[in-house]
Structure 1
Amino acid sequence: MTLYKQILAFVIFLFAGLLIIAYAVQFQSTRDYLAEQQRVSVINTANSVGIALTPYLETGDKVGAESIINAAFDGGYYQEIHLDLLASKQTIEKTNKKEIEGVPGWFIQLNLFKSETYESILTSGWLQLGKLQVKGHPGDAYFQFWRTMSNLFWSYIACFIVVSVLVVTALHFLLRPLNLIRRQAVEIEKHHFNKSIPLPKTLELREVVQSINTLTVKLAKQFKEEAVAADLLRERAFRDAVSGLGNRAYFIGQINAWIAEHGTGGIMLVAVDALDEIYRIEGYGARDQMVRQIANALQTKLAYLDSAAIARISATEYAVLLPGLTSEDLLETAHILNDAIAELIVNPLETDSAFSVIGIAVRNEDEDLSALLTKADSALRRARSERLGAVTIEHAEKADTLGRLAWKDIILEALEHDQFDFRVQPVTMLTGEKALPSELFTGIRHQGQRFSAAQFMAAVEMFKLGEKLDRYVLEHAVFVLSANPGMSLSVNLTIGSISSLSFLNYLNDFFIKNHGLSRRIAIEIPENAIFHQREAVKSLSEICKHFNVMWGIDQFGRHFQSLEYLTELSPVYVKVDQGYMSIISKDENAQSVLAAVCRTAHNAGVITVVTRVENEQQMEIINQLFVDAYQGIVHPAREI
């Protein structure tokens, strides 16, 4: 129970106790007063009636005596007046048998008042004339007592309510700084350092708030410094300082991760030999400026492909990974890139020698890194030998059978006829953090062959089918969760869905409809979405938080933007990009970078998960880093 509730309960119970005691005292004193009033009234009536009756009794006037008794009976509230005439042996009696009105029966049954009785002997000298008995009626006492105590009861209730409201208001105001301190402590525990607490007027709390605000600022600064340090370390290890693109180590990591997923598509080697000419004529500054312009051109032209990876691998060469593209798409893209580079170089130098050449290698099934790079080098050599600005391609041994339109038809047919194939892979926890849901992988069954998401996601992005696909996968996830009560799943969303207002509205309605599954389903988004669709990601995170749905970031650390967004968006977990794990066993720098990236996430209160863990050697490495969980082929995906 909170301090506020404890103080409130204590004050309310104390005040209620005081009211009960006051009511009990008033109850008893009022009861005694009314009882005494009834007793005195009976005695006075008996004495006054006795004096009035004596003259009539001396003369034996029964009628006169009876009129006196009637007058007395009618003028008061008595249960019985009884007169025995001793001389004539006669009796005069008046009785009131009416029920008590205006008082509940249960109250009368409490027997709070008894009927007071008083007897007196009427005499004349030494002669006894009669015996008078007056018995009071408790009805009037009950009526007055009930009315008085009822009014007092409701007055106390009204007083209790008013005082309770005032106490609640006062405590809420007085303890507001303490509540803010509690909230700030919770935020600090979650590694959120965005707000400071207003200084309260209470001296004791003011000093505490000042200390907490100072601590918050220091922790925020420390987190920012660690994030910047991680960014710098990552850039030194995997980023080319001049172009701002990835370097050879970054590119190798991305290719290894792509190959491990059995991805389709190809790689390009772009040679811009004119850079040597620019260096020879104009020097380092002009060459470096052109290097940056070429890098910007490559990024701009390939921005529509979220899965593309671009790197500068030597002074004059660039490498591009293009997952999911066919030979036709690769050739078309290469010509677009060549034209973009020519516009940058030819015009400034006004010479025909300023052309780039591109060699393309289309990945063959089960082709490893060495074979793929060899094939790309061969294609680049042929491009150089043929002519300036040439584009050559080394095809896969098995020719491409599916073009972009064919992929579109396959995806639409799979959506219409439920031809998707689903598998789940668990997330294994290394620490005491709460368990994370298994990841749902999507594939397509077509003509007896299974295609993984890595093979058709490029077509999904190209034809803007992400929203349709994500809606289908979410509905299927509900079906799987309903059939497996002990299971929880994470679903990956495409950038096209995240940026769609209609999909966000659908997602809101989806969680309302399936509120019982909100704690068993998680949403994952690619890190690239944060940099291109920041506001849409914020809206998505608000929806997830509103419905208590877990959400996380996939491909974490893949891009070179700052990791400070973690404190702003506050995801529950991040999954580190697979490129790190593909080179971690051979590159100590990669281990240091992975440790820094994971530590940054860990310090932001985010659960860190490494992916594509393949062997025990990698397991030993990640156990020494700031890693909370892992997933990979050591615990392979299974069909559902």
Structure 2
Amino acid sequence: MTLYRQLLMTMLGLFAILFVSAYWVQFQSTRDFLAEQLRTTVESTANSAGLALTPYLETGDQVGAESVLNAAFDGGYYRRIRLDLLASGEHIEKENTITIHDVPNWFINLHLFDSVNYDTVLTSGWLQLGKLQVEGHPGQAYFELWRGMSRLLVSFLVAFLVVTVLLMRALNLLLRPLEQIRHQAREIELHHFGHAIPLPRTLELRQVVQAINGMAGKLAKQFKEQAEAAERLRERAFRDAVSGLGNRAYFMGQVNSWIAEAGHGGIMLVAVDMLEDIYRDEGFAARDRMVAAVAKSIQACLQRFEAAACARISATEYAILLPGIEGLQLQETGEEINRAIAELVINPIAQNQSISVIGMTVREDKDDLSTLLTKADNALRRARTERLGAVVLEQASRDTLGRIAWKEIISRALQQGNLQFKSQPAILLETGQAHHEELFASIQQDDLAFSAGQFMPAVEQFKLGSEFDKAVLQAVAPTLHRQPNKRLAINLTMGSITSDAFHFWLADYLLQHEHLAGRLLFEMPETAIVYARHSVDKLVALLKARHFTWGVDQYGRYFQSLGYLESLMPAYVKVDHGYTGMVLKEEGDQAFLSAVCRAAHNAGIVTIATRVEDDAQVKALADLFVDGYQGYISPPQPFA
């Protein structure tokens, strides 16, 4: 029970005791007054009637005596008046048989008033003339007592209700700082530091609020420092200081992660050999400025590719990963990069040579990292021999599906419902239980099966993300209805995240399936947070308003601040799988991953490592502030 209720009930109980006590005292005093009034009235009537009857009894005028009795009986409220005539042995009696109205029987049956009788002997000198008996009727006393106490009870009840309302408002006002303290403490427990509590007027609460505000400020500062420390470690481990791009380790990790997925795309190696000439002629500073300028030009050309990764892998070479594109588009992009770099030099050293040369290759299904880099390096050597505007593509040994073919496959799958699903659990290290299962979609066409890594680039390219996500959400809802213990995570595409129309559709979907709150989870890539923060904010607000859970995929992939954790507060994050395999090799990588995971872990966010393949990785990750893992150690299973 809350303190507010305890105080309210205690004070209302005390007021109730006070009201009941006052009512009881008033009730007793009123009853005693009415009883005394009844006794006095009976005695007064008996004495006055006796004086009036004596002259008539002396003369034997029975009719006059009866008239006096009638006048006395009608002038008061009596139950019975009896006059015994001693001379004749006769008697005159008046009796009231009227019942009491407007008073409940149960109240009369309480016998609050005793019967009041008064007898007197009428004499004339020494001669006894008669005997007069007067019995009072308590009906009037009951009526007056009932009416007075009823009005008093109503007044007390109204006063009690008024006091209750005023007391509730007063307690709400007085305990508001305490409620703010409780809310702030809960927010701190959830690692939501929020804003400072206004200082209350109450001295004791003011001191408590000052202490809590100070503690929240220090925790917020510590969280920010941890995020900044993680950023510094990441930059030290995976960022080239001169160009601002990733380094060779970063590029290798991104390529390995891409290769682990079934999909297409390509890589290119960009060689800017004139950097060596600049170094010899103008020194380190001039070369570093040129290195940074080349990096900015490359990044400008890659802005439209959200999944692209770029790194500086040697003093004069850059490497670029472009998932989801085909050979022709890859070659066009290479030529665009070549032109952009050429524009950086006003007076080229040799007019008959290009400033940069590019070698590139398209991925085939069985290509590993070594094969891809070898093919790209071969293409780069051929580009160097041609030199003038050299962009060389290492051709694939077989033809791949074109963009139009992919669009037809995806559109047909959405129309015919040819989507197949598997789910893979994310296991918590502490309990060994599944935090949730992540859904993976594939397209089944004839005898061929296409994984998400193969067709998702085309889904994004042709802006089919919203339709694809709608189809997935509608397909999984019946299974979640049938299996109330299952928690399922759905990956949202960038097209859905940035679509206002999808937001409206999702709002209706969540309203229709509100019982799935807590069991249907939504995952957004860190790419969306970096490049479409406004849309992410709106979508997160929608999910939280409907009490649905969401998480971040590819956590730690981008060289942006991790401060979004504090403002968005996802329920969980999945560490980019590019770091999972590397963490067991170098101590620096472990320190980086530990810092990044600690930033999320200390914010109360569940941290899940991805692409975990064996128990050795599980044991190593357990010491790095990782709360759970997901990967081929628990392979995907068909989703019913």
Given the two structures, how large is their TM-score scaled by the length of structure 2?
0.94
Residue 346 (structure 1) shift: 6.0
Which residue does 1:296 correspond to in 2?
296
Which residue does 1:123 correspond to in 2?
123
Cα 1:395/1:483, change in 2 over 3 Å: farther
Aligned to 2:344, the other structure's residue is in SS state: helix
Cα distance per residue 1:137-170 (max 9 Å; x no partner):
2222222212211222222222222322333333
Residue 377 (structure 1) shift: 1.3
Which residue does 2:582 correspond to in 1?
583
Which residue does 1:512 correspond to in 2?
511
Residue 448 of structure 1 pairs with residue 447 of structure 2: yes
Which amino acid is the alignment partner of residue 14 of structure 1? Answer: L
Please say if residues 346 and 355 of structure 1, whose CA atoms lie closer than 8 Å, have aligned partners that are also in contact. Answer: no
Please say if residues 42 and 136 of structure 2, whose CA atoms lie closer than 8 Å, have aligned partners that are also in contact. Answer: yes
Following the alignment from structure 1 to structure 2, what is the Cα–Cα distance between the partners of residues 83 and 353? 149
Aligned to 1:636, the other structure's residue is in SS state: coil
Which residue does 1:496 correspond to in 2?
495
Deviation larger for 4-13 or 108-117: 108-117
Residue 601 (structure 1) shift: 0.8
Deviation larger for 107-116 or 569-578: 107-116
Please say if residues 257 and 582 of structure 1, whose CA atoms lie closer than 8 Å, have aligned partners that are also in contact. Answer: no
Following the alignment from structure 2 to structure 1, what is the Cα–Cα distance between the partners of residues 24 and 175? 34
Please say if residues 522 and 551 of structure 1, whose CA atoms lie closer than 8 Å, have aligned partners that are also in contact. Answer: yes
Deviation larger for 20-29 or 603-612: 20-29
Cα 1:199/1:387, change in 2 over 3 Å: same
Which residue does 1:398 correspond to in 2?
398
Cα distance per residue 1:249-283 (max 9 Å; x no partner):
11111111112222322222222223333334443
Percent identical pairs in the alignment equals 57
Aligned to 2:94, the other structure's residue is in SS state: strand
Deviation larger for 596-605 or 45-54: 45-54
Cα distance per residue 1:562-594 (max 9 Å; x no partner):
112211111111111110013222233221111
Cα 1:366/1:354, change in 2 over 3 Å: closer
1:312-461 equivalent positions in 2, closer than 5 A: 312-345=312-345, 351-400=351-400, 402-431=401-430, 436-461=435-460
Following the alignment from structure 1 to structure 2, what is the Cα–Cα distance between the partners of residues 353 and 273? 11
Following the alignment from structure 1 to structure 2, what is the Cα–Cα distance between the partners of residues 305 and 576? 21
Following the alignment from structure 1 to structure 2, what is the Cα–Cα distance between the partners of residues 68 and 388? 146
Following the alignment from structure 1 to structure 2, what is the Cα–Cα distance between the partners of residues 570 and 95? 88
Which amino acid is the alignment partner of residue 268 of structure 2? Answer: M
Aligned to 1:580, the other structure's residue is in SS state: coil
Give structure 1 stretches of 5+ with no counterpart. Answer: none
Residue 123 (structure 1) shift: 3.3
Following the alignment from structure 1 to structure 2, what is the Cα–Cα distance between the partners of residues 433 and 121? 104
Residue 526 (structure 1) shift: 0.9
Following the alignment from structure 2 to structure 1, what is the Cα–Cα distance between the partners of residues 328 and 300? 20
Residue 432 (structure 1) shift: 6.2
Deviation larger for 28-37 or 343-352: 343-352
Which residue does 2:468 correspond to in 1?
469
Cα 1:131/1:453, change in 2 over 3 Å: farther
Cα 1:351/1:85, change in 2 over 3 Å: farther
Cα 1:340/1:92, change in 2 over 3 Å: farther
Please say if residues 274 and 354 of structure 1, whose CA atoms lie closer than 8 Å, have aligned partners that are also in contact. Answer: no
Following the alignment from structure 1 to structure 2, what is the Cα–Cα distance between the partners of residues 520 and 157? 49
Deviation larger for 77-86 or 521-530: 77-86
Please say if residues 267 and 320 of structure 2, whose CA atoms lie closer than 8 Å, have aligned partners that are also in contact. Answer: yes
Aligned to 2:554, the other structure's residue is in SS state: strand
Residue 209 of structure 1 pairs with residue 209 of structure 2: yes
Please say if residues 613 and 633 of structure 1, whose CA atoms lie closer than 8 Å, have aligned partners that are also in contact. Answer: yes
Cα 1:285/1:134, change in 2 over 3 Å: same
Which residue does 1:558 correspond to in 2?
557
Which amino acid is the alignment partner of residue 398 of structure 1? Answer: R
Deviation larger for 448-457 or 609-618: 448-457
Residue 50 of structure 1 pairs with residue 46 of structure 2: no
Residue 140 of structure 1 pairs with residue 130 of structure 2: no
Deviation larger for 587-596 or 335-344: 335-344
Residue 395 (structure 1) shift: 3.5
Which amino acid is the alignment partner of residue 399 of structure 1? Answer: D
Which residue does 1:242 correspond to in 2?
242
Please say if residues 341 and 355 of structure 1, whose CA atoms lie closer than 8 Å, have aligned partners that are also in contact. Answer: yes
Please say if residues 273 and 354 of structure 1, whose CA atoms lie closer than 8 Å, have aligned partners that are also in contact. Answer: no
Please say if residues 437 and 521 of structure 1, whose CA atoms lie closer than 8 Å, have aligned partners that are also in contact. Answer: no
Cα 1:98/1:475, change in 2 over 3 Å: farther
Which residue does 1:166 correspond to in 2?
166
Following the alignment from structure 1 to structure 2, what is the Cα–Cα distance between the partners of residues 203 and 326? 70
Deviation larger for 583-592 or 451-460: 583-592
Aligned to 1:359, the other structure's residue is in SS state: strand
Following the alignment from structure 1 to structure 2, what is the Cα–Cα distance between the partners of residues 222 and 233? 16
Residue 548 (structure 1) shift: 2.0
Aligned to 2:343, the other structure's residue is in SS state: helix
Cα 1:383/1:95, change in 2 over 3 Å: farther
Residue 68 (structure 1) shift: 1.8
Deviation larger for 597-606 or 377-386: 377-386
Following the alignment from structure 1 to structure 2, what is the Cα–Cα distance between the partners of residues 395 and 74? 129
Which residue does 1:630 correspond to in 2?
629
Which residue does 2:479 correspond to in 1?
480
Residue 115 (structure 1) shift: 4.0
Cα 1:78/1:374, change in 2 over 3 Å: same
Residue 126 (structure 1) shift: 4.1
Residue 25 of structure 1 pairs with residue 25 of structure 2: yes
Cα distance per residue 1:274-300 (max 9 Å; x no partner):
333333444333332332233223323
Following the alignment from structure 1 to structure 2, what is the Cα–Cα distance between the partners of residues 213 and 50? 89
Deviation larger for 581-590 or 369-378: 581-590
Which amino acid is the alignment partner of residue 628 of structure 1? Answer: D
Residue 260 of structure 1 pairs with residue 260 of structure 2: yes
Which amino acid is the alignment partner of residue 607 of structure 2? Answer: T
Aligned to 1:511, the other structure's residue is in SS state: helix
Deviation larger for 476-485 or 124-133: 124-133
Which amino acid is the alignment partner of residue 277 of structure 2? Answer: E
Cα distance per residue 1:54-90 (max 9 Å; x no partner):
2223323232222222222222222333333343444
Please say if residues 265 and 362 of structure 1, whose CA atoms lie closer than 8 Å, have aligned partners that are also in contact. Answer: yes
Residue 595 (structure 1) shift: 0.5
Please say if residues 323 and 454 of structure 1, whose CA atoms lie closer than 8 Å, have aligned partners that are also in contact. Answer: no
Cα 1:50/1:399, change in 2 over 3 Å: same
Cα 1:351/1:158, change in 2 over 3 Å: farther
Deviation larger for 7-16 or 168-177: 168-177
Residue 347 (structure 1) shift: 6.9
Following the alignment from structure 1 to structure 2, what is the Cα–Cα distance between the partners of residues 283 and 494? 47
Which amino acid is the alignment partner of residue 272 of structure 1? Answer: V
Which residue does 1:543 correspond to in 2?
542
Cα 1:124/1:199, change in 2 over 3 Å: same
Please say if residues 420 and 444 of structure 1, whose CA atoms lie closer than 8 Å, have aligned partners that are also in contact. Answer: yes
Please say if residues 80 and 96 of structure 1, whose CA atoms lie closer than 8 Å, have aligned partners that are also in contact. Answer: yes
Aligned to 1:270, the other structure's residue is in SS state: strand
Following the alignment from structure 1 to structure 2, what is the Cα–Cα distance between the partners of residues 71 and 395? 134
Deviation larger for 296-305 or 308-317: 296-305
1:565-576 equivalent positions in 2, closer than 5 A: 565-576=564-575
Cα 1:106/1:408, change in 2 over 3 Å: farther
